[in-house]
Structure 1
Amino acid sequence: LFKVRKVYGCDSCSSITLEVLDILIGDNLLDIYYNPRHILYDGNEFLDGSLKPYVSLSQELTRVSSGHVIPEVIVPFIQSSLPSNCPVLDDFIGNIGVMRLSDLGNLKDDSVAIIVGWYDSVFEGIDLWYPDEKDTNHPRFRLKIKVGDETRVDVFVLFDEDVKRVGFETCALLASIGENATMYPNEMDVFYGDPMLFKVLKKAGDVAEGSKIYEIVGM
């Protein structure tokens, strides 16, 4: 959470320059990010109902050297502890238990779990194919990614709309080719190391090998 002051604005190009006055770091700040109805977005409300005067160091030095009194810049004071209010996460998790990757072995087939981990890399690029070769307006997409935590790394698979959400540029390019193809989604490189919650559906894979497929149905 950044406390900023506008120091310059360009009327011709509409650009502005902001000076960062303070930074607040905390996991519970996601509550603000995901909740557009949070009290902080109301311009008439502050968490503690008060205002705190702020004078930057450069202003103080100028005031001392010149002997002139510079008007104080009033900025809202924000408490460091924020109440938990994140309906988006509540809706996503629901009554499903949150697991580590090491717990996936205990998950029953055709069951859904919430996995906390980070995006590691692309395991297999985005595949595009047409179930009906005569109908090129409804392609299907598949992507396999590696997800890791402090215990291990596993491969998850995404299909169709979930693939287009994370690899939108590559999916659009593949669709323009008009035939079965595979391509690496470069736009996903920015996700490396990002912590995420994955809603995973466990499916039975190859019966002979006894393998399992973990399909991401939400993230």
Structure 2
Amino acid sequence: MAAPALEVDGVRKSYGRRPVVDDMTFDIRAGELFGFVGSNGAGKTTTMRIVLGVLAPDAGEVRWLGRPVDFAARRRFGYMPEERGLYPRMKVDEHLRYLGELHGLSPAAARSAAGRWIERLELSGYASEEVQNLSLGNQQRVQLAAALVHGPAVLVLDEPFSGLDPVAVDVMRDVLAERAAEGVPVLFSSHQLSLVERICDRVGIVGGGRLIAC
């Protein structure tokens, strides 16, 4: 069995006296699709934000390849938030190029990567459209492209299949499987249990801020 690539070890987070994440512990191996399921308020999104460094834990540690995750490591992570974090008035190709450059790609590399993901996610007809003019499903595809454009070593996706039609679900499922096949650990949450069961290597069930089964 491969060694863990991403480890969440004893992570805790409270707001005031209310614990939101309580001793959350799990790991994901390279090339593994790990599903994160649980009811609203179970602690999934908070855990993901701690992995990304958006939130600081009160206790515990996140490790990547055996070392505590720092800013340099997190620049290599790809994140897709549940709330779309796109600039609505930017054009799709411009948006992806901009995000690629923010992650350190050269202008030429960012342009190439943006074009590649626009084509792969079947957005070619919308490349010059403003994001706000796209359907919610196509905005979701752009959000995934934004998480992938810099070639991340880890993918963390919060409800990536929400609002997608069946064709788009198949496209996104195939893309995640391709990333995993290239050795990228993929953590994603979903309420679609049949989908999680179909595509994941392992599933973590979260309740009360803890991983209660895996």
**TM-score, normalisation: structure 2:** 0.21
Higher strand share: 1
**TM-score, normalisation: structure 1:** 0.21
Higher helix share: 2
Greater Rg over alpha carbons, structure: 1
Greater relative contact order (Cα < 8 A, sep 6+): 2
